[in-house]
Structures are given as structure tokens and as C-alpha cells.
Amino acid sequence: MSETKGEITVKEAGRLGGQAVKQKYGPEFFRKIGKKGGKALSDVRGSQFYSEIGKKGGNAVKERHGADFFAEIGRKGGTVVKEKHSPEYYREIGKKGGKAIKKPRQPAEAAV
């Protein structure tokens, strides 16, 4: 970490502190504390809370980028997965998907 002269913003101090923690404990530390925090929040607010904030976030993204954005990122993600995994991977997840209990579809206006 380099020395700084004068005052720094709260944002910069947080960034520097985060970098120091990452260097000392590694990135896995952040994953662990994130999971703990998420579990604690779920215990307090309930799992429905995550559903609600996910919908809010999805709607905000849709307003900002348009509905076609989701199709575009879905195609990109599918391409990456296809390049990463073998055809056997798709056969296995296809079998699992065929056996999975399907959730009822939401009406189009309720979907993100």
C-alpha cells in the first residue's frame, strides 16, 4: 500500500481497506463472509426478501437496457458454458432437468 498525503474520501479509504484485507486473507475470505452475511439476512428477513430484491433489480436492468438485453446475456452465457463443457455435460443436465419438479409459469406481465 502506498502512502497518501492529505485527506482521502470514504470511498477511497474503503477501497484501500478492502485491498489490505484481500491481500492478508485472500479472496476466499470475502466469499465466506458474504455467505455468512447472506444467511444472517435470510434468517432475519426470510427468503422472500431475496426474491423481492431480485425482481426490483431485474426490473431496473430491464428499464435501463431493454428486455432484449436478457436474451443477449443469456446467449453469451450459453456460449461460454458450451465452450467450457462437453456434450456429455448437456446430456446430464438435460436428464436432471427432465426429472426436476417444474414450477408453474408466471403470467407474462409478472415476469421480469
pLDDT in tens, 23-47: 999 989 999 999 999 999 999 999 8
pTM: 0.46
- Cα end-to-end distance, the chain, whole Å: 43
pLDDT recorded at residue 95: 83
| Cβ-contact 73, 65 below 8 angstroms | no
Placement of cell 409459469 in the chain: 105
pLDDT recorded at residue 17: 95
pLDDT recorded at residue 64: 94
**Rounded Cα gap, residues 53 and 41, in angstroms:** 13
Distances (CA, A) of 78 to 62, 68, 85, 93, 98: 20, 15, 11, 13, 19
Placement of cell 437496457 in the chain: 65
Per-residue pLDDT of the chain (112 residues; tens, 9 = 90+): 555 567 999 999 999 999 999 999 998 999 999 999 999 999 999 989 999 999 999 999 999 999 899 899 999 998 898 889 887 888 888 888 767 666 666 665 555 4
